[in-house]
Structure formats: structure tokens, C-alpha cells
């Protein structure tokens, strides 16, 4: 894949992930309709909802940073070293 295309795909994926994560985090702030509580299911507290929404966001951020480093660090030209022949 050409380098510029891989960069474009990466940044489009980053944008899509950010939009999705913002939507997920925003959903934790809106009030939920009344839930029926059964013995097998207890409603999650607000803190639990935020934690379970933020944990994947942090993991995704880590993946994006590592991917960015892999894409951009390896695309920089390697430094050239001049090697001079030694006299024997």
C-alpha cells in the first residue's frame, strides 16, 4: 500500500474511533429510562458505566499511539553514514 494511502487510512480510522468513543462516553452522561430490576440483573451504577466506557477508550488510545509510532517512525528516512575505506 502506498505510504500516503496508509496514512490516510490511519487518520480516517482514528477519526472514526474518536467519534464512536465520544458517542459512547456521551451515552453514559444521559439519563436512562427507568429499568426494571430483577434479582438476576442489578442496574449498574453511574461510576461503573463510566468505567466500562472509559476503559476501552484508554485501550483504544494505546493501540492508536502504538500504531502511529509504527507507521510514522518507520517511514522516516534512515540516517546515512559515510563509510570510508581504510588503508591496508
pLDDT in tens, 55-87: 888 998 898 888 888 877 765 555 666 666 655
pLDDT > 90: percent of the chain: 6
The per-residue pLDDT for 16 is: 92
- Supply the DSSP string of 27-67, one letter for each residue: HTTSPPPP---BTTB-PPPHHHHHHHHHHHHHHHHHHHHHH
Higher pLDDT, 25 or 19: 19
Amino acid at each position: 500500500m502506498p505510504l500516503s494511502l496508509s496514512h490516510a487510512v490511519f487518520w480516517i480510522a482514528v477519526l472514526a474511533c474518536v467519534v464512536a468513543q465520544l458517542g459512547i462516553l456521551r451515552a453514559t452522561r444521559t439519563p436512562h429510562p427507568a429499568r426494571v430490576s430483577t434479582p438476576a440483573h442489578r442496574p449498574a451504577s453511574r461510576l461503573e458505566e463510566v468505567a466500562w466506557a472509559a476503559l476501552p477508550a484508554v485501550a483504544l488510545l494505546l493501540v492508536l499511539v502504538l500504531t502511529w509510532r509504527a507507521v510514522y517512525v518507520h517511514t522516516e528516512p534512515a540516517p546515512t553514514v559515510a563509510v570510508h575505506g581504510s588503508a591496508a
